[in-house]
Amino acid sequence: MEAVVAFISSATVTQVIIGTVVILLSYYMWKRPANFPPGPIGLPVAGIIPFIGKYPEQTFLKFSKQYGPVIGVRLGMNDFVVLNDYESITEALMKNKELVSGRPTHPLFEVVGEGYGIAVVDFSTFFKNQKKFGLVTLKGFGVGKKGMEERIFEEIFYINQAIHENIGKPHNLHKLLVNAMSNNVSSLVCGKRFDYTDKKFERMNYHLGRGYNDPETNKFNIFIRFAPYLRHIPPFSTSLDKLRNDVVKIHEILNEIIDEHRATLDCNSPRDFIDAFLIEMKKENNPDFSEKQLIHYCVDLFIAGIDTTTNTLRWAIIILLHYPKCQKKLRDEIVATIGTETKTTMSDRAKMPYTCAFMEELFRFRTVVPLGIVHKTNGNVKIGGYDVPKDTQVICNIWAVHNDPKLWKDPEKFDPQRFLDNEGNFVQSTKHLIAFSLGHRRCPGEVLARMEVFLILVSLLQRFEFVQGPSGLPDINAGANGGTFNPDPFSVVVRDI
């Protein structure tokens, strides 16, 4: 009898312990700060990661219809705040920009940036000084000016030449566009363009593309982004190792280029961004300008200048295939304005309202950075009436703004007319178009990206017609969604006009 009582007592103690653990885990799982935005918590440890799907921006928008535009979601073991409408995003990034412009400490950011560069460093005096230096320096080397137009036109010559080699044949233009965008950045950063067959150039573009924009790598890294503990578990750890290796290779190549610059540096006549940075490094009491900062800054400039613009142009080509009437209307306006031989300039935009409207709708319709780069609160802040504590990660769902039916009629349709008035005049970008983000973290490459898209698009349509290849129309809605939204690989037939 005593043995039975002892067994029951032991079982009761075990049940109490298990029950206590369950209660504590449940408490931790459901516990949130007071007045935190409502939203789904999901599963222990994983949160809602198993349910976000291939397109997290669309999943977040669905949740917002249940909980409201400002939602709190648990991704992995951390609570994020996701902003799903224009009002909440502007409240965070404009009204409270000093408090919502940080970057979180994250294993991915550590691998990519190591605490240096511009894209993933935290908001601080260091960030402000580096951003100011970059904007002033790049503007000094022609960004937004006639000098940059000439550099882009030099690259357009090589684009046209490469296209002519495959005229009338099915061809994937992805690598060609990557090379061209990389050379546009290189002309600013390194003071030169590279031949497309240059081995160093090929290696750098390969590692930039695989490490940062490869769909296979990104499909794992996007989960590490939300649940850092996954970096220790294959295949996520393998993907992160690939990224780490690519970063090392890119740094090796940039070190060679920087050494060449250092050996030929003339402090009285800087040739490019690297020269300007090396000159800053020589100044006394200037610790923010270091060798490591230079390398990471260069990487950030290449990443920002290649991937988003390349994929914007790829989406543009897909749209031209799906909407041949738009392609004809664009070409008719371009030819009527500048003919088929004259080089266009940025000043021609005023005479090409439909072309400008097409570009704006392109930026809206295919938002290439749907969720932006994650922000972090630098202090307690109120957004949408909710209290968001310091050090909370904040995601801005730009895609949701660009697909909000309250702002855009039939947002799922591509329609440049929404940027034209009744007389056919171009309506300057509506405030609701935020493809380049807002506030302190607004993309510093916006001016260059807009120049490239306009000049390249106009120049291509002056000379070529784009038609679908034998494999049919590429999917206009599907793509690989990592940090950026990339079209699936596709081929196109290009004809002379």
- Would you tell me how many other CB atoms lie within 10 Å of the CB of residue 18? 10
- Would you tell me how many other CB atoms lie within 10 Å of the CB of residue 108? 19
- What do you get for the CA distance between the two ends of the chain, in Å? 99
Phi, psi (degrees; rounded to nearest 5) at 413: -100, 145
- Given its phi and psi angles, is residue 459 left (phi above 0), alpha (psi -120 to 50 degrees) or beta? alpha
What domains can be seen in the chain, in order of their start residue?
41-496 (1.10.630.10)
The pairing of beta strand 70-75 with beta strand 78-83: antiparallel
Helices (H), 165-290: 174-189, 199-212, 215-226, 236-263, 273-281
Q: Is the pTM value of this prediction over 0.85?
A: yes
| Cα-trace Rg, the chain | 25
Segment holding 316, helix H or strand E: helix 291-322
The pLDDT score that the predictor gives to residue 22 is: 41
Cis amide linkage into residue 235, ω under 30° from 0: yes
Query: In the block, which residue shows the tokens 């509506």?
Result: 430
Non-local CB neighbours of 187 within 8 Å, separated by 6+ positions: 151, 154, 193, 272
Q: Tell me, rounded to whole angstroms, the distance of Cα 384 from its chain centroid.
A: 25
Tokens representing residue 2 in the block: 């005593």
pLDDT tens, per residue, the chain with 497 residues: 666 556 555 557 566 565 454 444 444 455 799 999 999 999 999 999 999 998 999 999 999 999 999 999 999 999 999 999 999 999 999 999 999 999 999 898 999 899 999 999 999 999 999 999 999 999 999 887 888 999 999 999 999 999 999 999 999 999 999 999 999 999 999 999 999 999 999 999 999 987 666 666 767 877 888 888 889 999 989 989 998 999 999 999 999 999 999 999 999 999 999 999 999 999 988 899 999 999 999 999 999 999 999 999 999 999 999 999 999 999 999 999 999 999 999 999 999 999 999 999 999 999 999 999 999 999 999 999 999 999 999 999 999 999 999 999 999 999 999 999 999 999 976 789 999 999 999 999 999 999 999 999 999 999 999 999 999 999 999 998 877 899 999 999 999 98
- Give whole-number Cα distances, 467 to 105, 162, 210, 362, in Å: 46, 17, 29, 18
Task: Write the DSSP string, 388-442.
Answer: E-TT-EEEE-HHHHHT-TTTSSSTTS--GGGGB-TTSPBPP--TT--TT--GGGS
The pLDDT score that the predictor gives to residue 18 is: 58
- Give whole-number Cα distances, 335 to 327, 472, 497, in Å: 12, 28, 11
Helix, strand, or coil (residue 365): helix
